[in-house]
Amino acid sequence: MNEKLSQMKPSASLVFMTRAKEMQKTDPGVIGLAGGEPDFATPDRISMAAMRALTEGDTHYVVGPGIPELRKGIAKKLREENGIICDENCILVTPGGKNAIYLAVHAILNEGDEAIILDPAWVSYEPIIQAAGGVPVHVKLDNRNDYRITEAALEAAVTDKTRLLIVNYPNNPTGRILHEDEADVLEAFLLRHPGVYLLSDEVYERIVYDGKQSLSMGARPAVAERVVTVNGFSKSVAMTGWRMGYLACCKEVFQAAYKLYQHSLSCMSGFMQRGAVEAFKCQREIEDMRAIYEQRRNMFVGILNSIPGVHCTLPEGAFYAWVHYDVKGMDSAAICEYLLEKARVVGMPGTAYGEYDVPSMRFSFANATDELETAANRIKEAILALYK
Ligand code: GLU
């Protein structure tokens, strides 16, 4: 057996999502807020276009890095919405953003190369780096400093083996967006370390609140060549089950990633890509969903913050409530298990994201509004019961 894989952690998101599904078989009242998955249906025009393509017989290999209409559409979207100038020939359409990350990390790292991850971080960065033979280097961002990126933290982690830095804004799990001064820190870091690539996972980039805007590092000309942008359709257009993501990068990374793609996937399905092309015409639907997430955020976080010993900073983007606890000396795992049993609400323990300094949990608020309200009230009741 492959030793690297036998030591790899399973995906905590998928473990807890499965756990919720298992519990729901005997107790349909269990509320699963572990996985970040929009409850909205994929906009009709996308599904209709895919169905049309299917009935037209688009069911064969579509050899190439993506159909030209889709790659062109992505290049245009990146240019107009994100300020990223990327030749459409350097765009790779992948099965989800996760696979885009997998390919890019494999394209960049050699055995033993170091890749920096900023904790708290999404659960799959570390295993992907390990799968590529790289060494994950965790930089713990300070919760007392609002998880801000600092030059000192990055410089303390960098070595002559560092080849990659992974950032994810809007952030999963904290809900923070990248602020201009932090983007300056990242740019200066890349300029000081010309052998380092930056992978910017921007999959939540359309889900931002209070009129704020998500920043793209690939829009900074001084470092654009070394920025690999990952994005996808799962979160912004409610297409999680379609597995449609993409990678925009320089020619060198593209060519290496595309070789691995050819040998592992061959190609993406044509009918699904023809559906995804329609996503660029779904601005109204994207905005409608975003506005609903904002209302849900306000309600859900509002109830959580009314609970003694519970604190949640209002997320600026994505659809996660990142909750800190100060209850009866319980740690993240204990609170998570307690709420799962007592409140019948499944969330994620903060330790899954590398947060060990403060008891914490992540709840997705991409569920239906009434379900979220019930979940928040059940959490409140369960925590209040601890004080009796
Ligand atoms: N990215 C989502 C999450 O963090 C979906 C599950 C996963 O891929 O980890 O919940």
Number of domains in the chain: 2
How deeply is 29 buried, as exposed, middle or buried, from its count of CB atoms within 10 A (0-12, 13-18, 19+)? exposed
> The domain that contains 197 carries what CATH number?
3.40.640.10
Q: What domain range includes position 244?
A: 45-280
Given a contact cutoff of 8 angstroms between Cβ atoms, the answer to whether 169 and 120 are in contact is: no
CA of 18 to the centre of ligand 1 (A): 12
The runs of H, that is alpha helices, within 234-348 are 251-264, 270-277, 283-305, 332-338
Supply the CATH number for residue 364's domain.
Answer: 3.90.1150.10
10 alpha carbon – ligand 1 mean position (Å) = 12
pLDDT tens digits in sequence order for the chain, 388 residues long = 999 899 999 999 999 999 999 999 999 999 999 999 999 999 999 999 999 999 999 999 999 999 999 999 999 999 999 999 999 999 999 999 999 999 999 999 999 999 999 999 999 999 999 999 999 999 999 999 999 999 999 999 999 999 999 999 999 999 999 999 999 999 999 999 999 999 999 999 999 999 999 999 999 999 999 999 999 999 999 999 999 999 999 999 999 999 999 999 999 999 999 999 999 999 999 999 999 999 999 999 999 999 999 999 999 999 999 999 999 889 999 999 999 999 999 999 999 999 999 999 999 999 999 999 999 999 999 999 999 8
Distance 343 CA to ligand 1 centre (A): 22
Atom of ligand 1 nearest to the CA of 35: 10
Task: Tell which atom from ligand 1 comes closest to the C-alpha of 240.
Answer: 5
| Ligand 1 atom at shortest distance from the alpha carbon of 364 | 10
Is the minimum distance from the CB of 168 to ligand 1 under 6 angstroms? no
Q: If DSSP codes are grouped into helix, strand and coil, which group holds residue 349?
A: strand
Nearest Cα to Cα of residue 79 among 210, 226, 270, 219: 219
**What residue's CA is closest to ligand 1, atom 2?**
36
13 pocket-lining for ligand 1 (C-beta < 6 Å):
yes
Is the C-beta atom of 11 inside 6 A of ligand 1? yes
Residue 388: per-residue pLDDT: 86
Indicate whether 99 and 189 sit together in one domain.
yes
Last residue of one domain, picked from the residues 253, 280, 307:
280
Residues 221 and 290 in one domain: no
Per-residue model confidence (pLDDT) at position 202:
98
For a pocket test of ligand 1, which of 11, 13, 240 has the largest count of ligand atoms closer than 8 A to its C-beta?
13
Last residue of a domain, one of 255, 280, 305: 280
Beta strands per DSSP E along the chain: 31-32, 91-94, 114-119, 135-140, 162-168, 197-201, 227-232, 245-248, 310-312, 320-325, 345-346, 348-349, 360-364
Q: What are phi and psi of 178, to 5 degrees?
A: -80, 130
Ligand 1: nearest atom to the Cα of 123: 9
